[in-house]
Amino acid sequence: MTPASGSRRTSPHNTTYIYPFIGNPGYNLITAMADEAIGYMNQVNTLTPDQPFFVYYVPGGTLAPHHPTPEWIKKISDLHLFDEGWNKLRETIFANQKKLGVIPQDAKLTPWPKDLLKEWDQLTADEKKMFIRRVDVFAAYVAYTDHENLDIGSDTGSPVDDKDYQVPFAFTGKINKITLTIDRPKLTPEDEKKLMQAKRNNRESE
């Protein structure tokens, strides 16, 4: 089901439809999903710490419509990240990618598609205000969703720290084709038995 709203939508919980937003004006699906995942993982880890489990966690961010909380919109807007416009932002991102080694140092910024998109200085004041608001809301949705995702890791004892991430290699080639092969994780026969038992237990509890 594609979320129609982050705060006002009918949601299925297992086989039962629920209305969590009734009487709860601050409800947001992103936070509710994170809380549900945290509760489930903590329950499994507490009752059967050796039992393998699988959580299919797919938050709505950043599918439209974008519904971050007002607090996150204000937090991003107050940073004024996009006030200089998309031409300047494009140049800044390009320079940062070079600095991080994501793209080659001799890479050239592609020409601006003037026939498709106006340059920032060609927009009216109202257009600039509208586009800044739209990107602030989008960025707030990204940040808000990421914050809740990290909460799952920290609240269940499996955090991921961004500062530990390293660029695996400096890209200097040219991408012509990407082929991905996705396979099931390799489980031992004992893990397979535990997984099947967990599935049976879950069906019995519903």
* Interval 23-65: pLDDT, tens: 888 888 888 888 888 888 888 888 888 888 788 888 887 888 8
Whole-angstrom distance, CA of residue 176 vs CA of residue 170? 17
Whole-angstrom distance, CA of residue 129 vs CA of residue 106? 35
In one letter, which amino acid is 16?
Answer: T
Q: What percent of the chain has pLDDT over 70?
A: 78
pTM of structure = 0.67
Whole-angstrom distance, CA of residue 74 vs CA of residue 16? 35
172 Cβ partners below 8 Å, 6+ apart?
A: 104
- Cα–Cα nearest to 85, from 116, 111, 113, 124: 124
Task: Provide φ and ψ at 68, rounded to 5°.
Answer: -70, 170
Residue 126 has pLDDT above 90, yes or no: yes
- Cα–Cα nearest to 42, from 183, 155, 190: 155
pLDDT band at 156 (very low <50, low <70, confident <90, very high): confident
DSSP 65: S
